[in-house]
């Protein structure tokens, strides 16, 4: 069966520091991968999605970037965090149908 892992579970970082969140999927190959953010009082905002290694589409202009160095690895990064980057970050995968979400990372930028 397929599983999706995200780490870390929680993170507190100062403004201006870098960020790296990692997501890996097991039990499937060539999945579509997604990064979402859920900010306080808001819905799930799609940040990036990838249909293959090295193929990244950005949905919103922002302070963040994403990379897919391997088929089942998806990384969310920032060179300098902003206060507005605080939120709950979710990675998801799909094989063309429903999306399945990881446990999420709670990021607090102070």
Interaction site with another protein (CB under 8 A)? 32, 34, 36, 42-46, 49, 51, 59, 88, 90, 92, 94, 96-104, 106
CB of 46 to another protein, least distance (A): 7
Alpha carbon of residue 23 to chain centroid = 7
Distance of alpha carbon 45 from alpha carbon 51, whole angstroms: 18
Distance of alpha carbon 42 from alpha carbon 20, whole angstroms: 23
State the DSSP H helix or E strand holding residue 94, giving kind and residue range, or none if neither: strand 87-94
Residue among 46 and 67 whose Cβ is closer to another protein: 46
Strand pairing category for 32-38 and 87-94: antiparallel
Burial string for 2-34 (b: 16+ CB within 10 Å, else e) reads eebebeeeebebeeeeebebebbbeebeebbbb
Residue among 14 and 41 whose Cβ is closer to another protein: 41
CB of 83 to another protein, least distance (A): 21
CB of 102 to another protein, least distance (A): 5
Residue among 10 and 18 whose Cβ is closer to another protein: 10
Residue among 54 and 97 whose Cβ is closer to another protein: 97
CB of 85 to another protein, least distance (A): 18
């Amino acid at each position: 069966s397929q599983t999706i892992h995200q780490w870390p579970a929680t993170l507190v970082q100062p403004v201006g520091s870098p960020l790296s969140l990692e997501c890996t999927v097991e039990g499937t190959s060539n999945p579509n991968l997604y990064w979402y953010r859920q900010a306080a009082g808001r819905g799930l905002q799609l940040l990036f999605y990838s249909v293959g290694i090295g193929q990244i589409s950005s949905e919103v202009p922002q302070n963040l970037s994403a990379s897919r160095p391997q088929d089942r690895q998806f990384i969310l990064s920032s060179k300098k965090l902003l206060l507005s980057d605080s939120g709950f970050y979710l990675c998801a995968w799909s094989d063309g149908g429903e999306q399945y979400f990881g446990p999420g990372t709670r990021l607090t930028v102070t």
